[in-house]
Amino acid sequence: MKFNGKDITELLALNRRNFITLIVGGAVGIGLSPLPWKMADDSAIWTQNWPWVPVPPVGEFLHEKTVCTLCPGGCGIEVRKVDDRAVKIEGRTDYPVNPGGICPLGMGGLQLLYNEQIRFTGPVKRVGPRGSGKYVNIGWDEALSMLAGRISGLRKVGKVDSITVIDGNRMRSTMAVMIERLTKAIGSPNYMRIPTSEDTFQTAGMLMQGSDSPMAYDLENSDYILSFGSGLLDGWGAPGRIINAWGQWRKDRLKRATRIIQVESRASNTASKADQWVPARPGTEAALALGIAHVIIKKGLHNTEFVNTSASGFSAFKEMVLDHYSPEKVAEITGTDSNKIISLAEGFAKAKAPVAVCGKGKGALNGSLYESMAILALNALVGNINMPGGVLVHDPLPLDKLADIEPDAIAADGLQRSRLDQAGSAKYPFSRSLFSNFAEAIIKAPKSPVDTLLIFSANPAFTLPDGGEIKRAMEKVPFIVSFSPYHDESAYMADLVLPDHNFLEKTDDIVWPAGLQYPLYGMTRPVVEPLYDTRNSGDVIIQMAKQIGGAVGDAFPWEEYEEVLKQRARGLFDSSAGLTGYDGATPAWKQMKKGNGISPDYDSFDKMWEEIKSGGLWYRPAHTYKNWGSLFKTPSGKFEFLSTKIELAAKEASLEEMGISATGDEAFMPHYEHKGHGKGEGSHSLRMVPYEMINLASGWAPNPPYLKKTLFDHQLLKDESFAEINPETASKLRLKQGDRVVLKSHKGEVKVRINIFEGAMPGYVYLPLGLGHTAYDDFLNGKGVNPNHLVDGGMDPLSGQPVWWDTPVKLIRA
């Protein structure tokens, strides 16, 4: 076909020119359509809403009240939820422990719940080599029968004492009762609890007062607080309570009603914020306390009523103190100015309600027994035992005692055998668990005497200040079972993990928040449904016991853990009147001082139980003060400056065997013992002291990622942590800020960087606790070093616990 003389196909050919015309036509057409304008708008919006940026679902706001169990403080918390998602933790104002505030750890608690990388999502068994973190998921049935089978097998061959149970739950809590019961029912004598300063406090109380009263300091009513290294602002006790009190004490800028004196070798937050900082060499606190006692007695400032009518052994104590603890001598030991000691003594004795507080740092690690006794003696001297503003003596919470178990023949035989750690033996009569002995027994033996190790709510491989001994011991143990919800170091070594719920998914109790001055029973309730296939360890114990069967099963007649809690709570109802509600108007410590009796706010047990479950609280803000006549349950019936119990114990074993270097009566009284490592001992001329921070979790609960925001880059920089040293020490060693060094003790070595800090005592090296994880996820693994693995300070006399506050170290430039 032709057109105008040309072939039409030629005319219609898609040549370059026509193609451009087509494009131009298309462009004009598109321009005349809404497409470009709509596209421009939409793509602008698209850039604002990347599909990978999550959009948090909206929903109804709910506020669930419960109690935090991340530390022994037991603060009341309120969890804000959006439908079934927990989005924020806040402090409760209707809970007497903490009026509204909580600590950073509690605040970051949701990251422990939701960070899947640190949690076990169900029971697992190890497949790779130990420590490789290689597991396979198994079902609960398989996990339970594996464990029950192993225990039954050991029972059959009579090797029950090769089972050891490590328990990190708080003393007297229902979980601890259950775990100890299980150990007993199986027939193993080796039930071990992670020691804390509360244990040391209670042992000191047992030796001098004859009762193991829970730690109860009436700080809010005190006007002079002399703290021997207690990190009141660094996580001691219930941080929500203490820091709130601190704020109250600082309300009046010019006229402070309460003075706080901090004895500590390093300018911690507590030391800096205190009214006075008294630096004393680590481990010499007992000498300082006795030096203060010396001045008080010499000047006749002590409470004569108490000393004359309610104390025994005072003359011996007086003689010892006057002979050995003059301010000049104490100044030499502690490095504190002698005039300062005199003024401290005067200030302490002349205050209306002075109180001396013990428990180093957070109080999460053991203390020194003689030191705790010396501090208690100081309180006794001024007659502030069981007085408002002093140290209160209480009976433990009146929880129902569960019926005694009836051990079968195997168990009866096993319970006769001696403990592996020798705790409670003649050499260590006052200790319940001794991890260093335990680890040593395993390490020294050709074949581990422990076959199966069960670990509940604890991470001994990381938290124990033992120079890494327990970790080395655990490597030899053939079979380790962890009940941890988290991928902690100890669970990493386990062969079988039966994960517990996270604290926000769990029902459990809190027996007496650490240091609180009135009895309080708290209850934590699940605020979210369990996210994963985990089980409350309380339930698991019951299920496991039933599977083992026989007398072990009979020892656990309950169907579920909550029944046990309920049964024990009956004791609260039966024994004394308490309250289950708190309106926040009058603080409980104020109500106590009023001295009025209490009429319970419930009329039946069921009512009380329902209230406890919903409010998480039973407490008794009333107290019989003074009562010195019948308070002390010692053999003498009085407060014993010279402890009869130690005297009696010394008849069973020599003082030397008990690790005591003092002789005569001095050994039965609080005294200071100079530990072996002298200054300038060989090449290990520096001393390493671990320190705790409120914003860095160092216990069983891992550090939530948010808390890392609060660390300074002179504490942790990339993967390296810092050792604090004084500028003077630094210049002697020719070290600059940021230098890399190796710290070496006889137990181990770590690589750190140097942070020069004026607040560090010359000659000492300070390392933070809580870093240096080798398990968990990218947030924690490999960040910094763990000073626990360096600790090598010998043994605390009498208690047999490790001295972790004074390790000789060598510093080598890296």
Partner 1 sequence: MENQERPSLDSKKGGWISSLIGLILSYYAKLISNPFRSGLVYFGAGLIGALFVGWVLFPFALYSRQHQPLDFSHAIHLDEDIVEIEGDTDLERCQYCHAFRDDGTFAGIPKLETCMECHDDPEMALGETPEEEQFLKDYVADEKEIPWLSYSRQPDCVFFSHIAHVKMGELDCRTCHGDHAKTDKLPVYKKNWITGYSINIWGKNILGIKSNSWDRMKMDDCAECHTEKGREENNACFVCHK
Partner 2 sequence: METKQTHGHRYGMVVDLDKCTGCGTCMIACAAENNVTVRADESDKERNITWMQLYKITNGKKFPDTEVSYFPRPCMHCEEDGNGGHNPSCVTVCVATATKVDINSGIVSQIYTRCVGCRYCQAACPYHARYFNWWDGYSLIKPFAKGMERSLSPEVSPRMRGVVEKCTFCHHRLMRAKNQAYADDRREIEEHEYTTACAEACPAQAITFGDLNNPEHQVSKLIKSPYAFRLLERLNTKPKVYYLSSKDWVRKMADNYMPGEFKPISKAVG
Footprint of partner 1 (CB under 8 A): 3-4, 6, 8, 11-12, 14, 17-19, 21-30, 32-35, 38-39, 42-43, 45-46, 48-49, 51, 55-56, 58, 60-61
357 is a contact residue toward partner 2 (CB under 8 A): no
- With CB under 8 A as the contact rule, the residue among 393, 760, 765, 790 that binds partner 2 is 760
- With CB under 8 A as the contact rule, the residue among 21, 710, 731, 737 that binds partner 2 is 710
Between 61 and 664, whose beta carbon lies closer to partner 1?
A: 61
d(CA 210, CA 212): 7
Min dist CB 333 to partner 2, Å, is 16
Between 560 and 728, whose beta carbon lies closer to partner 2?
A: 728
Min dist CB 223 to partner 2, Å, is 18
Of 541, 504, 720, nearest to 67 by C-alpha is 504
- In degrees to the nearest 10, what's the CA dihedral of 685, 324, 637, 349? -90
Residue 694 contact partner, candidates partner 1, partner 2, none, CB within 5 to 8 A by sort of partner: partner 2
Instruction: Provide CB contacts within 8 A for 336, sequence distance 6+.
Output: 278, 279, 280, 288, 330
Question: How would you classify the pairing of strands 354-357 and 452-456?
Answer: unpaired
Min dist CB 47 to partner 1, Å, is 10
- With CB under 8 A as the contact rule, the residue among 25, 26, 31, 59 that binds partner 2 is 59
The encoded tokens of residue 672 equal 């200071």
**For the window 204-243, what string marks contact with partner 2 as x by the rule CB under 8 A?**
-----------------------------x-----xx--x
What does 26-79 look like in DSSP terms, one character per residue? HHHHHHTSSHHHHHHHHHHHHHHS-TTS--PPP--EEEEEEE--SSTT--EEEE
777 is a contact residue toward partner 2 (CB under 8 A): yes
- 741 forms bridges with which residues in the sheet? 752, 813
Helix (H) or strand (E) holding 3: strand 2-3
702 is a contact residue toward partner 2 (CB under 8 A): no
Min dist CB 678 to partner 2, Å, is 22
Min dist CB 278 to partner 2, Å, is 8
* SS3 state of residue 517: coil
695 is a contact residue toward partner 2 (CB under 8 A): yes
d(CA 688, CA 804): 9
In the window 267-306, what residues touch partner 2 (CB under 8 A)?
Answer: 267-269, 272-273, 277, 279
Min dist CB 140 to partner 2, Å, is 21
d(CA 326, CA 338): 9
Min dist CB 79 to partner 1, Å, is 16
Of 605, 505, 622, nearest to 565 by C-alpha is 605
- With CB under 8 A as the contact rule, the residue among 5, 34, 56, 129 that binds partner 2 is 56
Between 83 and 656, whose beta carbon lies closer to partner 1?
A: 83
Residue 713 contact partner, candidates partner 1, partner 2, none, CB within 5 to 8 A by sort of partner: partner 2
Q: At what angle do helices 327-334 and 338-350 cross, to 10 degrees?
A: 110
Between 34 and 129, whose beta carbon lies closer to partner 1?
A: 34
Min dist CB 454 to partner 2, Å, is 28
Quick one: which segment of 15-23, 207-215, 601-609, 716-724 binds partner 2 (CB under 8 A)?
Answer: 716-724
Between 21 and 339, whose beta carbon lies closer to partner 1?
A: 21
533 is a contact residue toward partner 2 (CB under 8 A): no
Phi-psi region of 509 (alpha: psi -120 to 50; beta: other; left: phi over 0): beta
Instruction: Provide CB contacts within 8 A for 75, sequence distance 6+.
Output: 67, 68, 91, 92, 95, 97, 98, 102, 103, 106, 238, 239, 240, 241, 513
Min dist CB 1 to partner 1, Å, is 11
Give the dihedral sign, CA 487/490/494/496. negative
Q: CA Rg, the chain, in Å? A: 31
Between 4 and 604, whose beta carbon lies closer to partner 1?
A: 4
d(CA 248, CA 258): 10
d(CA 164, CA 166): 7
- With CB under 8 A as the contact rule, the residue among 66, 70, 97, 98 that binds partner 2 is 98
8 Å CB contact between 380 and 347: no
Listed in order, strand segments (DSSP E) in 527-666 are: 617-619, 639-640
CA distances from 144 to 480, 535, 544, 720 (A): 14, 11, 6, 41
807 is a contact residue toward partner 2 (CB under 8 A): no
Min dist CB 115 to partner 2, Å, is 5
What does 67-116 look like in DSSP terms, one character per residue? E--SSTT--EEEEEEETTEEEEEEE-SSSSSSSS---HHHHTTHHHHH-G
Residue 664 contact partner, candidates partner 1, partner 2, none, CB within 5 to 8 A by sort of partner: none
Between 62 and 577, whose beta carbon lies closer to partner 1?
A: 62
Min dist CB 528 to partner 2, Å, is 9
Between 64 and 90, whose beta carbon lies closer to partner 2?
A: 90
In the window 107-146, what residues touch partner 2 (CB under 8 A)?
Answer: 107-108, 110-111, 113-117
Quick one: which segment of 284-292, 356-364, 631-639, 705-713 binds partner 2 (CB under 8 A)?
Answer: 705-713
Listed in order, strand segments (DSSP E) in 297-353 are: 311-312
Between 34 and 678, whose beta carbon lies closer to partner 1?
A: 34
Instruction: Provide CB contacts within 8 A for 76, sequence distance 6+.
Output: 65, 66, 67, 68, 91, 92, 94, 95, 96, 97, 98, 240, 522, 616, 617
Min dist CB 65 to partner 1, Å, is 17
- With CB under 8 A as the contact rule, the residue among 72, 74, 101, 616 that binds partner 2 is 101
In the window 365-384, what residues touch partner 2 (CB under 8 A)?
Answer: none
Q: At what angle do helices 409-416 and 174-186 cross, to 10 degrees?
A: 100
Phi-psi region of 619 (alpha: psi -120 to 50; beta: other; left: phi over 0): beta
Between 22 and 409, whose beta carbon lies closer to partner 1?
A: 22
717 is a contact residue toward partner 2 (CB under 8 A): yes
Between 43 and 304, whose beta carbon lies closer to partner 1?
A: 43
